[in-house]
Structure 1
Amino acid sequence: MTVNSPEQLAQTLESAGYLADEGVATAAFLALRMQRPLFCEGEPGTGKTSLAVALSRSLELPLIRLQCHEGIDAAQALYEWDFPRQLLHLRALEAGSESLDVEAAEQSLYTERFLLARPLLKALTTAPCVLLVDEIDRADDEFEAFLLQLLDENAVTIPEYGEVRAEQPPLVILTSNRTREVHDALKRRCLYHWLEHPDLAREVAILRRRLPGIGERLATQVSVAVRRLRELELLKPPGVAESLDWAQALLALGRDELDVEAAARTLGAVLKYTEDMERVRAKLDALLA
């Protein structure tokens, strides 16, 4: 699909259920047009991961996701060799030949047949696609450095196999919750956008779009209450995902408005720590006033 403007991209994303503001639509459009990775940073629940999913759906591109975590390495992110199959292949060669050519046998072990592609390698061989590198801030410095060749050249080098280069660059979306600072070397290779929580009108619109059965009153009450929760010093302030969960929980209980009793019964949908729940229960009257 060809997208000619940020406004057109915003409409395209809306068709996939993602209501992008002007800043998000512009950043994503520039990433598409300039063929540059987009580094999305912000608080949890601001729609960073959802943006990549929506781009995949609306542009009709495959989504390949790499979930980062502490200790992630090339074997988990890029490739590894299928050792059991290599061993079987080598035994078959030995059984079928009295004078085995060792060099030829070694070369035959490191071919595409035995290469297990992980997300980064899949993205290079599947492109065009959307590659989501989720929560890069959870990975370590060495993994960031490992990503630089891919972001620079849309290629990686596998020592035993050679270079793998994308025929068409994937659309790369990197996300970070800013649990630590990501190095400048990685950021320099990307366009950057900070995602805020949506304003009240947009959050109401998101709830009504994602939950067709919800009324204007309940959507507004939930959005207002969540915005007030975000102003408290909570261990885990709620994001849009928690707004949706809370509204869906209220609908499941047959509620068409948010009152103190309904809020108390459903706090587990929006708050994830008992300390936060205890603090909020003591303030529910003021929160919903």
Structure 2
Amino acid sequence: MTQTIPDSIDAVETLLAQHNYVASRALATVIFLSLRLGRPLFLEGEAGVGKTEIAKTLAKALGRRLIRLQCYEGLDAASAVAEWNFAAQMIAIRSSEVTSGSGRNLLKSDLFSEDYLIARPLLEAMRPQEGGAPILLIDEIDRTDEPFEAFLLEALSDFQVTIPELGTIRAPEPPIVILTSNRTREVHDALKRRCLYHWVDFPDLTRELSILQARAPEASAALSREVVGFVQRLRQEDLFKKPGVAETIDWAKCLLALDVIALSPETISDTLGAVLKYQDDIQKIEGSTAKRLLEEVRRDLAPV
């Protein structure tokens, strides 16, 4: 069911919370402004802090279709907008030759029509949708290159795309656009200027605990505090890849699957692969370091 756009920052916070997304006040503010002003939202931050989840949650909360363009190195306009179904076009030509004796009877205007067009995410987002304008998620834009960024300028400036054989297709209602970046490289200023910007940082202990309680409510309060406290400590260590909120949630669910009710150095070492994704980081933490961090966490959590 389609929901109306929230009319206040508090309403955005409430709407996201109803779908188990605990947003900071600053994030709720920039989301509200993006929705109210119709501006694309550019979210940057470490992997696993919940950037992609914002688009998914908004789509559910507003009852809109989520259209996701997953970026990668070498992504081009054809893969992002539309491609011609060459196999179907060849079959049409052959069929025309059989029935009329000449494929020339199949005009170019017939071959290059919507019937033979395979719509990709950007074109889909420009088309009318049931329930209102869709959420267009352009995920990990930093994985693409500068030519693709330049191509996006038209889409994000005028909410339109151009297909040479068909012309320019403009969205009757602009999609709600969210771009994410893990900052593996700097995205060009020209693209950022067309967006509202927000850096999604790691949450503090209180907010991360609220996130974990929302996403893994079956975890006890004591275990949740230890898990969040330990992950917060891990982020202070010299690691190649600091764990994100997604890893916190995954780790808690793994511990629940093992019927763990409290952390121990042995349990931590056995399950570190759920929270750390590089062997060098795991070797650095397991053993005595895990024991030390756990002691520090329990000391901090102990009642005064």
Give the partner amino acid of 1:112.
E
Deviations 1:182-223 (A, max 9, x none): 001100100100011111111111111111211111111111
Query: Which residue matches 1:115?
Result: 117
Query: Which residue matches 1:152?
Result: 157
Distance 1:288 1:126 in 2: 53
Q: Any conservation in 2 of the 1:93–1:105 contact (CA below 8 Å)? A: no
Please point out which of 66, 71, 77 is paired with 2:69: 66
Deviations 1:105-158 (A, max 9, x none): 111111000000011111111441101000000000011011110000110010
Query: Which residue matches 1:47?
Result: 50
Matched, 1:27 2:18: no
Deviations 1:23-51 (A, max 9, x none): 11111111111001000001111110010
Distance 2:101 2:224 in 1: 76
Q: Any conservation in 2 of the 1:10–1:20 contact (CA below 8 Å)? A: yes
Matched, 1:133 2:135: no
Q: Any conservation in 1 of the 2:96–2:102 contact (CA below 8 Å)? A: no
Please point out which of 164, 171, 175 is paired with 1:170: 175
Query: Which residue matches 1:184?
Result: 189
State the SS of the aligned residue for 2:235: helix
Deviation at 1:91, TM superposition (A): 2.0
State the SS of the aligned residue for 2:157: helix
Task: Report the TM-score, using the length of structure 2 for normalisation.
Answer: 0.92
Task: Report the TM-score, using the length of structure 1 for normalisation.
Answer: 0.96
Deviations 1:33-80 (A, max 9, x none): 100100000111111001011001111101011110100111211110
Q: How many residues align?
A: 288
Name the CA shift for 1:84/1:99 in 2 (closer, same or farther; >3 Å).
Answer: closer
State the SS of the aligned residue for 2:197: strand
Query: Which residue matches 2:300?
Result: none
Matched, 1:8 2:47: no
Instruction: Quote the RMSD (CA, aligned, Å).
Output: 1.3
Distance 1:6 1:262 in 2: 41
Matched, 1:272 2:277: yes
Following TM superposition, the consecutive aligned residue runs of length 4 or more in structure 1 with deviations greater than 3 angstroms are: 98-102
Distance 2:45 2:251 in 1: 21
Where do 5+ consecutive residues of structure 2 fail to align? 296-304
Q: Which stretch shifts more, 255-264 or 151-160?
A: 255-264
Distance 1:34 1:101 in 2: 50
Distance 2:200 2:91 in 1: 50
Give the partner amino acid of 2:168.
E
Where do 5+ consecutive residues of structure 1 fail to align? none
Distance 1:29 1:274 in 2: 40
Percentage of identical aligned residues: 50
